[in-house]
Structure 1
Amino acid sequence: MADHSHHAEIDKVTGTATTGHEWDGIKELNTPLPRWWIWTFYATIVWALGYFVVYPAWPLVDGYTKGLFGYSSRAELAVELAKLDAVRGGKMAVLATAPLADIEKDPGLLALARAKGKVVFGDNCAPCHGSGAAGSKGFPNLNDDDWLWGGSLEQIEQTIKYGARSGHDDAHQGNMPAFGKDGLLTAEQIVTVVNYVRSLSGLSTRPGSDLAAGKQVFAETCSSCHGDEAKGNPELGSPNLTDKIWLYGSDEATMIDTLTNGRGGVMPAWAGRLDPATIKAMTVYVHSLGGGK
């Protein structure tokens, strides 16, 4: 228990007064703080009060206190960005007018485009395609050489500008029909053609699958978009079904779901949101990731 009856008691060992508090025979010494520490503490109080006066600090109902200095980190950033734009201005103007192929041939323009494109990609495209552009389920990997709408510089620029099923007049419009939901194929036909398609890329098939019947269904229903050899068609956004790259997954259940309910992912149109030079920079950046044709 604490003993409050000896406030002026002096500790015999240290010669320091005690606070009068004692726990299990251990007494608390009333050791004063070092003077330098006290003055430092007071200085921080003065500094804080001064900061409140000269810098923006206190929130108000209709804003905040501006401070005597009128400092604003946002205004400072705007100034720095304006300086950066002034430095880049000439090069960005050249980038806006240069043909895409010429940009990749010019080391200076290529470096500028890739640096600019990487930043813009991170701000606008990474939420869907990933920071490394590796994609995810339903969002294409931009590092490989499998392109739904074509992987040339011009085709990539077209896709970035207008998107796919974005509502823009020049957007890519192709989509995967819902063969099952719309009654175009029976459930049995869907399973049959799915197993045939799986066989094209070396995936396992159900025991006893009638691949000949699946090939017939494919020829009558799917070849108009994917081609007779199932190699796909960039004009329609139809993927190559003979490789091992699958946008939504290669398991049988997912493939059956695709044919039953269809697919129609949306790629936004960036024309109007991003200026022409920025779109060119992002085009060159994506093309240089390794999968561009």
Structure 2
Amino acid sequence: MSENERDDHTGVETTGHEWDGIKELDNPLPRWWLWIFYACIAWSIVYWVLMPAWPGLNGYTRGLLNQSDRGDVVSELNALQAQRGRGEAMLVSASLQQIEADPDLQAHALAIGQSVFGDNCASCHGVGGAGAKGYPNLRDDVWLWGGSLEEIEHTLQVGIRSGHADTRMSMMPAFGRDGLLTGAQIGDLTEYVVALSGRQADRAAVARAAPLFAENCAACHMPNGTGIRELGAPNLTDREWLYGGERSAITGQLTNTRNGVMPMWGNRLSPGVIKALAVYVHVNAGGGEPSLVKVEAPAP
């Protein structure tokens, strides 16, 4: 019977495996590794006996401890729901002003509001409510439809262009797409809007666009461009732009329009949670009245 080859340097037998002149030694596994391996086997046997482990045709083995993670989660959720239910009952019975005036109620509302905002609102408005292009910034004081506690609560309940019977609704025409204005007229109106916001604009284009603005835009945005908050018509004289204030963005809005949609939360969130969310937005974001700078339409 032939003996296995031994390594000349270590005296250890080889396994017979060789690659590129390198031979594998048949060293035993370290003792510490073997003990850990055996301990793991022993632990697994104990675990199989004590904990749910083996699937079967009619369920699974429950184990001597009858442990159930699903049951633990259900118990914790029920306890949390009971705790929130007590707090929500207090929120429902209090007015929005009372909630903000009471430190304990406000703290409870802010805790709920932060959680609900993160789950439902942050994907559009950002984690801090700063918004993005096409999604309003909730941290300033530029509020369409109003930024009071009651107005924020109502907007949360009915949404914006959401399909609710009382939804916040405004609809800007697509002047270019629907053939209401020519490309040249839209170009002139773009210069007019640029001038309204206090920037340098083509004076001739502004003069040509004055009657166009009066005929097509002033009913919602007011003759001086300051907008009508209750109609959701933005103030064109400030530097706050939902879809961008550069000329290409203004032209795009005039040509094709964008009318964003906010869901109605009244059918998804309870009244107490909506109150908490309104308080959270009002306290941590702007929540103030919009700044309407009264300026006259630019002279030709």
Specify if TM > 0.5: yes
Mean Cα deviation higher: 175-184 or 97-106:
175-184
Q: CA deviation at 1:86?
A: 3.1
Q: CA deviation at 1:259?
A: 1.5
Indicate if the aligned counterparts of 1:6 and 1:20 stay in contact, CA closer than 8 A. no
SS of the residue corresponding to residue 94 of structure 1 reads helix
After superposition, the C-alpha distances for 1:32-80 in whole angstroms (9 at most, x for unaligned) are 22334213212323434554565455678x9963643554434322211
Q: Do residues 171 (structure 1) and 170 (structure 2) align? A: no
Query: Within 2, Cα distance between the matches of 1:115 and 1:22?
Result: 65
Indicate if the aligned counterparts of 2:17 and 2:23 stay in contact, CA closer than 8 A. yes
Given candidates 269, 273, 297, the residue that maps to 1:278 is 273
Query: Within 1, Cα distance between the matches of 2:183 and 2:61?
Result: 68
Mean Cα deviation higher: 82-91 or 222-231:
82-91
After superposition, the C-alpha distances for 1:184-238 in whole angstroms (9 at most, x for unaligned) are 3222222111211111113443x46421222222122111111122111121111
Change (3 A) 1:12 1:181: closer
Query: Within 2, Cα distance between the matches of 1:124 and 1:59?
Result: 37
Q: CA deviation at 1:96?
A: 1.5
Change (3 A) 1:234 1:33: same
Identical aligned pairs, as a percentage?
52
Q: Do residues 249 (structure 1) and 261 (structure 2) align? A: no
1:94 aligns to what? 90
After superposition, the C-alpha distances for 1:169-194 in whole angstroms (9 at most, x for unaligned) are 11112111122233332222221112
Query: Within 1, Cα distance between the matches of 2:21 and 2:191?
Result: 84
After superposition, the C-alpha distances for 1:98-125 in whole angstroms (9 at most, x for unaligned) are 1111111111111111111011011111
Indicate if the aligned counterparts of 1:177 and 1:263 stay in contact, CA closer than 8 A. no
Change (3 A) 1:166 1:43: same
Structure 1, unaligned runs of 5 or more: none
Given candidates 218, 224, 238, the residue that maps to 2:233 is 238
After superposition, the C-alpha distances for 1:123-177 in whole angstroms (9 at most, x for unaligned) are 1111111222121221111111111221111111011000011111111121111
Indicate if the aligned counterparts of 2:129 and 2:285 stay in contact, CA closer than 8 A. no
Which aligned pairs between 1:1-293 and structure 2 lie closer than 5 A?
6-7=3-4, 9=6, 14=10, 16-21=12-17, 27-48=23-44, 50-51=46-47, 55=51, 65=60, 67-68=62-63, 69-205=65-201, 207=202, 209-293=204-288
Query: Within 1, Cα distance between the matches of 2:128 and 2:70?
Result: 29
Query: Within 2, Cα distance between the matches of 1:6 and 1:26?
Result: 20
Query: Within 1, Cα distance between the matches of 2:106 and 2:148?
Result: 16
SS of the residue corresponding to residue 19 of structure 1 reads strand
Tell me how large the CA RMSD over aligned residues is: 2.7
> What TM-score do you get using the length of structure 1 for normalisation?
0.86
What amino acid does structure 2 have at the position aligned with 1:7?
N
Indicate if the aligned counterparts of 1:128 and 1:136 stay in contact, CA closer than 8 A. yes
What amino acid does structure 1 have at the position aligned with 2:171?
N
SS of the residue corresponding to residue 160 of structure 2 reads coil
Indicate if the aligned counterparts of 2:55 and 2:61 stay in contact, CA closer than 8 A. no
Change (3 A) 1:195 1:83: same
> What TM-score do you get using the length of structure 2 for normalisation?
0.84
Query: Within 1, Cα distance between the matches of 2:171 and 2:48?
Result: 59
Mean Cα deviation higher: 72-81 or 125-134:
72-81
SS of the residue corresponding to residue 278 of structure 1 reads helix
